[in-house]
Amino acid sequence: MTVWIIEPHDPLIFRDGRPFNSTPGASARSLPFPFPSTIAGGFRTQAGLDQNGVFQTSKTNIDYVKSISIKGPFLVELDGESKITNWLLPAPQDAMLLLEISPADKTNVKIKKLVPIDLPNEAFTDLDSCPTTLLLVGMLSPPTNPTKPYSQAPKFWYWCKLAEWLLEAKDIDELTVSQLGHNGPQEEIRTHVKIDPENQTANAKEGLLFQTRGLEFIHAKEGFSESKRLAIALETEVDITSGLAPLAGERRLVAWNKSSQEFPFPQLLPSIAEKISQTGACRVILLTPGYFENICNPTYLLKGTELIKPELKAVAVARPQVISGWDFAQNSAKPTRRLAPAGTVFFLKFEPQSDKEAIKKWVESIWLNSVSDDQQSRLDGFGIAILGTWSGKNEQMQMEVER
């Protein structure tokens, strides 16, 4: 397996599907981070080029490139030599950040873990609408100084911090936000005007002035005293030619470079597998958005093996993302789908008598692989999963009593 780095030379636009026309106020907006299919499509385009740099449209070539498996995209920080210094992964949905002291202090936060809890007698939910009986996910106890969730919580966590969370999710009383991660690429707004092709001057006709909102792959601290280079990383078995190529909206240029580095994630696998086999329960965290026909019944994830079969106990999930696109092979629009966002957490439990070695093998089969329902989504990189520990116990929420 080879890690490839995609470093943009211009702000990139990963379209969010909103109309972009001459209507006043319309602008081409970018998603905060690309969908796996966008990066997979860019890589497959490079893999399908002939010696003259022309993509071959034969059915054989199209079937071949669609069969290429992609793991990613992931956000990385680069040094001056374009080497990866830090990996950043989506923030897990079972961690809630709260302001530590007051709204005026935005440097320190506290983290409250979210776990499956028994439903209090006085509470009602719509969980009965799910085909299976799922538990509510929430905090075990209210914070000592109640505040609203931190509105500027980092969208991406450093791998070292996420690894600690995977090994043991626990409440953290005080943490500096910058140590946890950041929000990734920054939005960059450009105003454009149509250029007359005959004289190469600006065309001042009405409706020909427009804006684009792209992603500048840098992370600048407050005051721009220090900035970090960002890029996109993926892993695959196929080789392509390194160099410049267009990607995403407006075909802006990126550099494709093969990295000599490897994913750091497998180093954590032995410790995680051992703990999960002992407790007979785990958390499955999505590193990329995943496709599931029913979020309450992820069929591929729950199919298990002959020896073990995991049971879904709860899900921590945010609002779904909607994706469509264009199918170049069929020359038609792709059907609209709803995705579970990256960071979604599935709480799974095995039967008490399950074989520990079988659990370890199951963990290894899921680790850093896609758990989406259909085969093509798995090849595209939707639903790349990693695992964390969980006690497997239904917790009891502590209730405050009015006096």
Distance spanning both ends of the chain, measured CA to CA: 61
Q: Write down the pTM of the prediction.
A: 0.91
Q: In angstroms, rounded to a whole number, what is the distance separating the alpha carbons of residues 271 and 163?
A: 11
Asked if 245 and 42 count as a contact pair (C-beta separation under 8 A), the reply is: yes
Q: In angstroms, rounded to a whole number, what is the distance separating the alpha carbons of residues 351 and 361?
A: 15
Asked if 280 and 270 count as a contact pair (C-beta separation under 8 A), the reply is: no
Q: What is the pLDDT along the chain (403 residues), one digit of tens a residue?
A: 899 999 999 889 897 766 666 565 566 778 899 999 999 999 999 999 998 889 998 999 999 999 999 999 999 999 989 899 999 999 999 999 998 655 555 678 899 999 999 877 777 777 766 656 788 898 887 777 667 788 889 999 999 999 999 999 999 888 888 899 999 999 887 777 777 777 777 665 665 677 778 899 988 765 555 788 999 999 999 999 999 999 988 788 999 999 999 999 999 999 999 999 999 999 999 999 999 999 999 999 999 888 899 999 999 999 999 998 888 878 888 889 999 999 999 999 998 888 999 999 999 999 999 999 999 999 999 999 999 999 998 887 776 655 4
Asked if 110 and 97 count as a contact pair (C-beta separation under 8 A), the reply is: yes
> Can you tell me whether residue 320 is helix, strand or coil?
coil
Q: What is the pLDDT of residue 23?
A: 61
Q: What is the pLDDT of residue 337?
A: 93
Q: What is the pLDDT of residue 333?
A: 84
